[in-house]
Amino acid sequence: MKFYKLSLTLLSSALYCTTIFAQTNTYLVQFVDKELKADPNAVLSPKSIDRRAKFNIPFTEEDYPINVDYIGALTKLDSTYLRYTLKWRNGVVVNSTKEDSARIAELVFVKKVSYVGQSERAIEVENPGFVTPVLKLKESSMNTKNLSKDDYGVAYTQNQQIQATDMHLAGFDGSGVVVAIFDAGFNAIDKIPSFLKHQANGLLTFGYDVAGLDNVLNIKYNHGTAVTSSAGGYDFGKYIGSAPKAQYILFRTEYEASEYPIEELNWCKAAELADSIGVDIISSSLGYNQFDDKSLSYSHKNLDGKTTYISHGARIASQKGIIVLNSAGNSGDNAWRKIGTPADVAAVLSVGAVDAKGKPGRFTSHGYNALGEIKPDIAAMGVLASVASPKGSYYQGYGTSYSTPIAAGGVACLVQAFPDVHPEILKKAIRLTASHSQHPDSLRGYGIAQFLTAKEYLSMSLVNSPKQLLSPTQNAVNIYTGNALSIEYEVLQHKKFLLIFTTKKKVAQRQDTCQNGFFRINLKEIGLKCSKQYTLKVVLTSPNETYPLKKTDIYNCQK
């Protein structure tokens, strides 16, 4: 389901694939075992191996390829054709007939055969190739230093809301980070102004069309183009995305005209490919719950982060050290209402949609998942978000499709700032420092992502800095509390007496518990009127000491 409203070489063996257009039955065939003999260097790129080494992720049975003898036995059947292998599932996806699928189920090395819908029949094994378009320009620089509001063009508000503009000013623009985008098509993405300089700098790669089994990703479908621009667009003075200098690798996994579980498996295949080439982040604006064949549809109890095909792929990708972001969904105003899958996976950063003022979009899907875990995790702008069209212009759209890549760009900036920090620590910091982390809900989760605050929190917590105030956000003050167990704070509002002398009136004094080294004081919640100056005094109590913060500044509460 598409969520919207209004050169790298993979190390693998195989033959090239062609397709015909007849729709035929598609099955997932899972095997009983694997031969665990492969050299990791033969199935994973150096970047993927480096990621595993950096985060102490072992090479496991999931990483080994499928037994080629099993594949050969299947394809000897007259009406069975291989689409692709799924090593994380220890299986293959095939086009076949009901009669052949019954024969396959009787083979001694076959564990299970599952019908997953209809697709065009493949007639040879595919070879996923990767193509990086090259474009020579007279001027190909991509300046992201000291950007002004005007430099961002129509994308300023959505970047400013998640502090991506602050991250850019701090020198983090996604450089060196590889982001995979999963979608349904990327019409004209290599032709529009937002991605011309990417091609001149080797930052745009056409990955694999898992749905069509070829490399034709820029089909006449616009959704992926708009999605990718939200994170990566760079059209100086008109549009700059949240991580304009990251490298983007595009995968098509979705069929436009139908909805079957085969699309979940397409997603899983793309995730395996993304892992193999060493991507850092997956941004997916797709999700599933209901299918054309109603017998295959899910109920909300299935959305426990463990049951669906795609949740399995998303969990494994996360375990391999990839940060996966997925749209919460756009079902908030229809009968389903809830999130889809893989937004239900605990390890996935699921993203809801808000407007420019932080109010949840009416359409944004509701959490939680079936286990009661907080979903979505975070939110970003998906109400009247600005995106690129295949014609080269920009328009405003609605959907968690757009809030997700906007947030993914912020994550890319954070990964650039902390390339050696484990992804689970980064995700924890993102949730902890989001705008409503102390009062999470089922629409925004922990709140609007605040990436500069997350960066500051990580900077302090990783080096055990003295406890101190972080940069204030709009209408809030963030405090790094370290190992303190409790916090007591006093807010003094400044007033002028006879227009000359400054007096201070106590407007709030509270005590609260601390956890995870972070605390946010929301000034509106404690009744402070905006457009007023105030002084904040804070005292923290840890197991062995009580101490005031050394820094007490005068802040301005902004409307």
- pLDDT higher than threshold 80 for residue 559: no
Q: Could you give the angle at which helices 309-319 and 262-277 cross, rounded to 10 degrees?
A: 10
CB 401 within 8 A of CB 382: yes
By C-alpha distance, which of 346, 478, 333, 326 is closest to 411?
Answer: 326
Note the pLDDT of residue 475: 76
Q: Which of 24-38, 204-218, 375-389 has the lowest mean pLDDT?
A: 204-218
Contacts of 197-202 spanning 24+ positions with Cβ under 8 A? 197/137, 197/140, 197/141, 197/142, 197/234, 198/232, 198/234, 198/248, 199/132, 199/133, 199/134, 199/135, 200/134, 200/135, 200/136, 200/137, 200/140, 201/140, 201/142, 201/245, 202/132, 202/134, 202/247
- Residue 299: partners with Cβ closer than 8 Å, 6 or more residues away: none
Confidence of residue 283 (pLDDT cuts 50, 70, 90): very high
- pTM equals 0.93
Sequence-ordered alpha helix ranges (H) in 240-298:
262-277
pLDDT in tens, 86-117: 999 999 999 999 999 999 999 999 999 999 99
How far CA 382 is from CA of 159, 233, 284, in Å, comes to 12, 16, 14
Sequence-ordered alpha helix ranges (H) in 279-395:
309-319
- pLDDT higher than threshold 70 for residue 465: no
Q: Which residue has the tokens 């913060």?
A: 549
Domains of the chain: 19-122 (3.30.70), 154-456 (3.40.50.200), 466-556 (2.60.40.10)
* Cα of 233 vs its chain's centroid, Å: 16
The first and second tokens of residue 119, run together, are 């697709």
Q: Which amino acid type is present at position 306?
A: K
CA atoms within 13 A of residue 327's CA, in its CB half-sphere: 33
Q: What is the largest CA-CA distance in the chain?
A: 95
- Residue 202: partners with Cβ closer than 8 Å, 6 or more residues away: 132, 134, 247
- Tell me the mean pLDDT in the region 231-242: 98
Note the pLDDT of residue 556: 53
The helix (run of H) or strand (run of E) holding residue 200 is helix 196-200
Q: Which residues pair with 209 in a beta bridge?
A: 214, 252
